[in-house]
C-alpha cells in the first residue's frame, strides 16, 4: 500500500511528523505532498528541519490567496500529482484549505481518503476551518478522532460507526518526542532576553481577531495592560503582520513596553517558550492542546473552541476577546501560586500515530 500524506500549513507539519515516524516503523510506503499554503522559512522549512521531516516528494507552491483562489489552486495542482503516480490512500490532517481541497480531489478520482483529527467542531460556521472540517469528514472513508466527543459529533452527522477510529492526538506524539530536546537546546530565551524572569506567551492569527482593525486594537489594549504586569513574548504570524503593517496598529504594538515582538519561531523554539511560560494567550487550536499536556495555563481568545476536552480535562479557559475579560483572566493566572498540573486526556499518550498505522494495515488486509 502506498500512502500519500498531505500537508500545507504549520499545524499540519506537526501532525505528519508523528505519522511519518509511525509509518516508517511499520514499513508503510509513504509519500509527502506539500501544498505550499505556508511557504516561507519560519512557517514551513524550519518545521521540516526541526521535526526531521524528509523533503516533500511533491511541492505545489500555491502560496497565499483568498480562500476560494487558494483552494482552487490546490485542487488543480493536486490533480496533477494524482496523474503522476497511483496511490492507494490519501491522508489529510487538520482543517486548513489544503485538507478539504486534496480530500475532494482524491474522492472524485475514486481514491480513499483518511482524515486525521476528524470530528472536531466549534459549531461556528463563520470560521473557515469549521467548514473545512465538516466537508472533509463528510467525504472521508476513514475518520481518526483525537477524543470521544469528536466521534460523537461524527455519529450525529450520520457517519458510519465502522469508519470512526478513536486513536488519540498525534500532536502529542510529536510533543513528547521533541519537548526535552527543545527545552535543553533552544537559545530562544537568551535570544529574546527573557532567560531571567517570568513571561507570558501570545499568539494571534484567526481572521476574527486580526483581520479587523477594531478587534485587533481591542486585544492590543488588553495586552498593553497585561504587559505592565508581566513581559509578553509575541511571535507575530504573517497574517497579523499584514494588518499591523497596513494600519497604525504597528506603532501601537511597538510602543507597548514589555511586549517582545518577534518573527515566527520554529517548532522547537516555540515548544520551549510554551513550556516555561507563566501562561499563554492564544487563538490557536493546537496551542490549546500543547499547553494542556505541558501543564501551562491557557487563555483562548475566542468565543468557542473545537477542542472542548482541553477545557473539561485540560488547562484551557475560553475567555473571548473583550479587553476587560482578557485582562481579568490574565490576572487570575498571575495570582495563582500553583499552576495546573499537566493533563493527559484519554489516549493522549504519544502513541496515536502507531494506532493509525495499525488501523491502516488492518484496512489494507481487509
SS3 for 194?
coil
Q: Are 29 and 1 in contact (CB under 8 A)?
A: yes
Q: How many CA atoms lie within 13 A of 219 on its CB side?
A: 28
Active site residue 205: yes
Length of the chain, please?
A: 366
Nearest to 210 by CA among 299, 301, 277, 324: 301
- Which letter does DSSP use for residue 321 in this model? S
SS3 for 1?
coil
- Which letter does DSSP use for residue 163 in this model? G
Nearest to 10 by CA among 40, 41, 44: 44
Nearest to 306 by CA among 289, 319, 294: 289
Q: Considering 21, 165, 205, 237, which one is annotated as catalytic?
A: 205
| Residue 318 in grid coordinates | 475560553
Sequence-distant (6+) residues with CB within 8 A of 343 are: 292, 293, 295, 313, 314, 315
How far from chain centre, in Å, is Cα 88? 26
Nearest to 58 by CA among 42, 43, 40, 79: 79
Q: In what order do the strands lie in the sheet with 2-7?
A: 58-59, 29-34, 2-7, 89-93, 113-116, 142-145, 164-166
Nearest to 364 by CA among 23, 18, 11: 23
The continuous run of DSSP H or E covering 106 comes out as: helix 97-108
Instruction: Please state whether 320 falls in left (phi above 0), alpha (psi between -120 and 50) or beta.
Output: left
The continuous run of DSSP H or E covering 65 comes out as: none
Residues carrying an active site annotation: 205
Amino acid at each position: 500500500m502506498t500512502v500519500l500524506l498531505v500537508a500545507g500549513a504549520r499545524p499540519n507539519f506537526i501532525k505528519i511528523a508523528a505519522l511519518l515516524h509511525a509509518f516508517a516503523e511499520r514499513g508503510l510506503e509513504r509519500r509527502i505532498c506539500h501544498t505550499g499554503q505556508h511557504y516561507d522559512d519560519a512557517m514551513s522549512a524550519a518545521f521540516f528541519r526541526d521535526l526531521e521531516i524528509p523533503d516533500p516528494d511533491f511541492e505545489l507552491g500555491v502560496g497565499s490567496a483568498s480562500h476560494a483562489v487558494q483552494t482552487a489552486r490546490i485542487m488543480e495542482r493536486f490533480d496533477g500529482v494524482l496523474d503522476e503516480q497511483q496511490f492507494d490512500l490519501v491522508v489529510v490532517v487538520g482543517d486548513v484549505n489544503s485538507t478539504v481541497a486534496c480530500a475532494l480531489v482524491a474522492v472524485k478520482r475514486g481514491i480513499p481518503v483518511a482524515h486525521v483529527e476528524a470530528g472536531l467542531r466549534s459549531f461556528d460556521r463563520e470560521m473557515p476551518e469549521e467548514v473545512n472540517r465538516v466537508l472533509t469528514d463528510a467525504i472521508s472513508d476513514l475518520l481518526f478522532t483525537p477524543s470521544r466527543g469528536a466521534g460523537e459529533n461524527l455519529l450525529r452527522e450520520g457517519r458510519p460507526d465502522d469508519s470512526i477510529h478513536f486513536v488519540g492526538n498525534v500532536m502529542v506524539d510529536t510533543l513528547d518526542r521533541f519537548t526535552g530536546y527543545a527545552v535543553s537546546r533552544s537559545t530562544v530565551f537568551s535570544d529574546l532576553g527573557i532567560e531571567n524572569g517570568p513571561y507570558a506567551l501570545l499568539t494571534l492569527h484567526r481572521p476574527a481577531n486580526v483581520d479587523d482593525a477594531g478587534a485587533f486594537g481591542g486585544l492590543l489594549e488588553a495586552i498593553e495592560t497585561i504587559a505592565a504586569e508581566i513581559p509578553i513574548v509575541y511571535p507575530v504570524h504573517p497574517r497579523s503582520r499584514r494588518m499591523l503593517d497596513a494600519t497604525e496598529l504597528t506603532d501601537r504594538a511597538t510602543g507597548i513596553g514589555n511586549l517582545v515582538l518577534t518573527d515566527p519561531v520554529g517548532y522547537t523554539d516555540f515548544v520551549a517558550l510554551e513550556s516555561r511560560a507563566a501562561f499563554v494567550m492564544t487563538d490557536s487550536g493546537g496551542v490549546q492542546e500543547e499547553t494542556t499536556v505541558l501543564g501551562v495555563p491557557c487563555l483562548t481568545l475566542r468565543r468557542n473552541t473545537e477542542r472542548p476536552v482541553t477545557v473539561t480535562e485540560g488547562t484551557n479557559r475560553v475567555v473571548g476577546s473583550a479587553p476587560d475579560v482578557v485582562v481579568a483572566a490574565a490576572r487570575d493566572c498571575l495570582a495563582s501560586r500553583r499552576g495546573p498540573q499537566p493533563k493527559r486526556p484519554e489516549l493522549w499518550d504519544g502513541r496515536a500515530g502507531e494506532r493509525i498505522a495499525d488501523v491502516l494495515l488492518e484496512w489494507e488486509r481487509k
